[in-house]
């Protein structure tokens, strides 16, 4: 046994011994976590730093798991503290050392993991999907993977699933890499550095919009579910977690959070994404400086404005719709006059006026929290603030929160129905299109926010 192997063997034995001691101690301290949380007024979540779990953008904390954890803290009427870890082993250590109360880290519930931690009910069904480059033709089913090499992070459910396939007779080479993330491997596939990797369906879907050359092929295992984890013996806290998921799935909060990160992606196909990336590369440089200046002048993110311009006109300064709106920002004639625009086809005038108008709308909806406020403002840009007021009134009548975008997603489409629009102050509205409009802008915005994030260059063959 060489030095490296000896070190790995010792670390593995050390971790096993640590877990055994923790399991024995937990038998004596069952149920302490919830009492500790209630007494201290705070709860600590351990998670991973990734687009699916937790990250910081423009000084704002984000992430699907983070938003769920934040909602759970509100459910318990306590504050949330976040601990970020880098591996499954570290996550388990933080749980059993009581440095964290629960784990919300996009964890698939597997038999092997369930031996170490206690899982909540599954809250999101996922499948492990095989991912490759669009040029990698001829892979239609598992049999076509014979002789292929698949890269995954080590000690993950992906590695576990691939080993089962190999045990069942599939001749594949598994490269389980240390200190590498799923997102890094997906990027490596997109750049042609490696041939194949595996990711949960939600992760694959999220990354496809950043890398239009990706192909999501097929499932390589049975459907699984994501769950939150606590150390064994923490039954009271686990029961609270399950109650929380039952509640937010019933009242719509779960769907609202899910839609924030994933639902908008499902409308994209590879052609949409490729077209967007191509136009961003070719046409954006012509207008980028003016967009940045206008965004800075009115306190908005230039990436948001870029997404809006693309959705409105696809960077065509001569664009004209059936309704008569014109230019890059698709301004109506009355709005253009109100904003002092002399020529709607002038890119500089159009951009500055459009950004000023969006900021005015944004300021109107200060009673709404983010991201609802932004969504409502974008919808108002598309259909007008009058129709938004009608949709908000209907929301109130339906006992929905008029300051929630999830409410207006339901009520705006109703303004196409006669029984609703005949009672509305501003009449008929193509509300379904407004909802689609907002979803598209948010999806483009997310792509632009992710651009420029580069992972360290790796030579995967040497690991």
pLDDT at 113 > cutoff 70: yes
Domain of 426, CATH number, reads: 1.10.530.10
**pTM as predicted:** 0.67
pLDDT at 140 > cutoff 70: yes
> In terms of Cα–Cα distance, which of 345, 340, 315, 339 is closest to 327?
345
Q: Is 22 helix (H, G, I), strand (E, B) or coil?
A: helix
Catalytic residue list contains 462: no
Could you tell me if residue 247 is inside a domain? yes
The Cα–Cα gap between 443 and 382 comes to 16
Query: Do residues 132 and 196 make contact, with C-beta atoms less than 8 angstroms apart?
Result: yes
The residue with greater pLDDT, 330 or 10, is 330
pLDDT at 328 > cutoff 60: yes
Residue 258 shares a structural domain with residue 379: no
Percent of the chain scoring above 70 in pLDDT: 87
Say what the pLDDT of residue 350 is.
Answer: 94
- Which of residues 200, 234, 265 is at a domain's end? 265
Say what the pLDDT of residue 8 is.
Answer: 43
Residue 362 shares a structural domain with residue 391: yes
Residue 211 sits in which domain range? 128-222
* Residue found by looking up tokens 């750049």 in the block: 191
Residue 296 shares a structural domain with residue 432: yes
The Cα–Cα gap between 191 and 86 comes to 24
Residue 418 shares a structural domain with residue 293: yes
Residue 346 shares a structural domain with residue 422: yes
The Cα–Cα gap between 256 and 346 comes to 38
Cis, peptide link before residue 328, omega less than 30° from 0: no
Could you tell me if residue 460 is inside a domain? no
270-304 CB burial, b ≥16 within 10 A, e <16: eeebeebbeebeeeeeebeebbeebbeebebbbbb
Residue 378 shares a structural domain with residue 348: yes
Residue 103 shares a structural domain with residue 162: no
pLDDT at 441 > cutoff 90: yes
- Which of residues 195, 222, 249 is at a domain's end? 222
Q: How confident is the prediction for the chain on average, in pLDDT?
A: 87
Say what the pLDDT of residue 291 is.
Answer: 96
Could you tell me if residue 456 is inside a domain? no
Could you tell me if residue 104 is inside a domain? yes
User: What's the mean pLDDT in 421-426?
Assistant: 86
Question: Number of folded domains in the chain?
Answer: 3
Residue 71 shares a structural domain with residue 55: yes
CB atoms within 10 A of CB 2: 7
User: What's the mean pLDDT in 149-154?
Assistant: 95
Retrieve residue 299's tokens. Answer: 């306190």
- Which of residues 265, 295, 316 is at a domain's end? 265
Residue 317 shares a structural domain with residue 446: yes
Query: How confident is residue 348, by pLDDT bands cut at 50, 70 and 90?
Result: very high
Query: How confident is residue 254, by pLDDT bands cut at 50, 70 and 90?
Result: very high
> In terms of Cα–Cα distance, which of 400, 370, 391, 395 is closest to 434?
391
Residue 326 shares a structural domain with residue 204: no
Residue 136 shares a structural domain with residue 183: yes
Say what the pLDDT of residue 57 is.
Answer: 56
pLDDT at 68 > cutoff 90: yes
Q: What is the pLDDT of residues 4-39, one digit of tens each?
A: 444 444 445 555 555 555 555 544 456 799 999 999
Could you tell me if residue 457 is inside a domain? no
User: What's the mean pLDDT in 435-447?
Assistant: 89
Query: Do β-strands 102-108 and 149-153 pair in parallel, antiparallel, or remain unpaired?
Result: unpaired
Could you tell me if residue 164 is inside a domain? yes
Could you tell me if residue 462 is inside a domain? no
Q: What are phi and psi for residue 31, nearest 5 degrees?
A: 80, 15
Could you tell me if residue 64 is inside a domain? yes
Query: Do residues 392 and 402 make contact, with C-beta atoms less than 8 angstroms apart?
Result: yes
Query: Beta strands of 65-194 (E only): which ranges?
Result: 79-85, 102-108, 117-119, 124-126, 128-133, 149-153, 173-177
- Which of 256, 312, 349, 409 is an active site residue? 312
Q: What is the pLDDT of residues 152-211, one digit of tens each?
A: 999 899 999 999 999 999 999 999 998 888 988 998 998 899 999 999 998 998 787 778
Query: How confident is residue 3, by pLDDT bands cut at 50, 70 and 90?
Result: very low
Q: What is the pLDDT of residues 263-277, one digit of tens each?
A: 655 555 555 777 888
Residue 94 shares a structural domain with residue 146: no
Domain of 241, CATH number, reads: 3.40.190.10
């Amino acid at each position: 046994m060489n030095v490296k192997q000896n070190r790995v063997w010792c670390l593995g034995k050390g971790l096993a011994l640590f877990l055994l001691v923790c399991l024995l101690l937990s038998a004596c301290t069952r149920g302490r976590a919830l009492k500790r949380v209630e007494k201290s007024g705070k709860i600590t979540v351990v998670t991973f730093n990734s687009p699916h779990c937790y990250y910081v953008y423009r000084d704002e904390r984000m992430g699907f798991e983070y938003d769920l954890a934040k909602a759970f803290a509100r459910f318990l009427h306590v504050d949330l503290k976040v601990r970020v870890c880098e591996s499954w082993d570290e996550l388990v250590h933080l749980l059993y050392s009581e440095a964290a109360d629960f784990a919300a880290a996009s964890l698939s519930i597997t038999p092997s993991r369930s031996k170490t931690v206690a899982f909540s009910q599954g809250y999101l069904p996922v499948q492990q999907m095989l991912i490759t480059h669009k040029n990698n033709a001829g892979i239609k089913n598992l049999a076509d993977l014979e002789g292929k090499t698949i890269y995954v992070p080590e000690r993950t459910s992906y590695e576990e699933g691939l080993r089962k396939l190999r045990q069942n007779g599939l001749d594949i080479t598994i490269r389980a890499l240390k200190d590498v993330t799923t997102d890094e491997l997906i990027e490596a596939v997109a750049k042609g550095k490696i041939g194949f990797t595996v990711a949960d369906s939600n992760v694959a879907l999220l990354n496809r919009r950043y890398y239009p050359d990706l192909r999501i092929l097929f499932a390589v295992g049975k459907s699984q579910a994501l769950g939150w984890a606590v150390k064994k013996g923490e039954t009271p806290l686990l029961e609270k977690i399950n109650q929380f998921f039952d509640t937010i799935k019933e009242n719509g909060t779960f769907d609202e959070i899910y839609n924030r990160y994933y639902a908008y992606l499902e409308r994209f196909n590879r052609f949409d994404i490729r077209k967007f990336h191509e136009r961003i590369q070719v046409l954006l440089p012509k207008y980028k400086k003016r967009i940045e200046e206008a965004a800075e002048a009115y306190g908005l993110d230039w990436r948001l404005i870029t997404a809006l311009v693309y959705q409105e006109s696809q960077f065509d300064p001569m664009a004209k719709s059936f309704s008569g709106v014109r230019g890059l920002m698709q301004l109506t004639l009355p709005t253009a006059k109100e904003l002092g625009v002399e020529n709607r086809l002038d890119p500089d005038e159009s951009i500055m006026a459009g950004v000023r108008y969006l900021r005015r709308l944004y300021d109107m909806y200060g009673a709404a929290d983010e991201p609802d406020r932004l969504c409502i403002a974008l919808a108002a840009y598309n259909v007008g603030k009058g129709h938004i007021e009608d949709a908000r009134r209907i929301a109130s009548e339906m006992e929905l929160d008029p300051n929630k975008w999830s409410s207006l997603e339901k009520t705006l489409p109703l303004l196409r129905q006669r029984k609703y629009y005949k009672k509305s102050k501003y009449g008929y509205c193509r509300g379904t299109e407004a909802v689609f409009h907002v979803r598209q802008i948010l999806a483009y915005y997310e792509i632009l926010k992710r651009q420029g994030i580069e992972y360290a260059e790796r030579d995967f063959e040497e690991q």
